[in-house]
Structure 1
Amino acid sequence: MDNLPTYFKRTFDDYKVLVKVNPADLTGIELIIHPDGKIEKTTMEFDEEIYDDLEVDEFEPCSPLEFNMYLKGLA
Structure 2
Amino acid sequence: MKDLEVLTRYKAWADGQFLSALYSLPEAELTAPRPIVFGSLIRTLNHAYQMDYVWKCHLLGKSHGLTTRNPEDCPD
Fold conserved between structures, TM > 0.5: no
- Pick the structure with greater CA Rg: 2
Q: Choose between structure 1 and 2 for higher RCO, CA contacts under 8 A separated by at least 6 residues.
A: 1
| TM-score, scaled relative to structure 2 | 0.22
| TM-score, scaled relative to structure 1 | 0.22
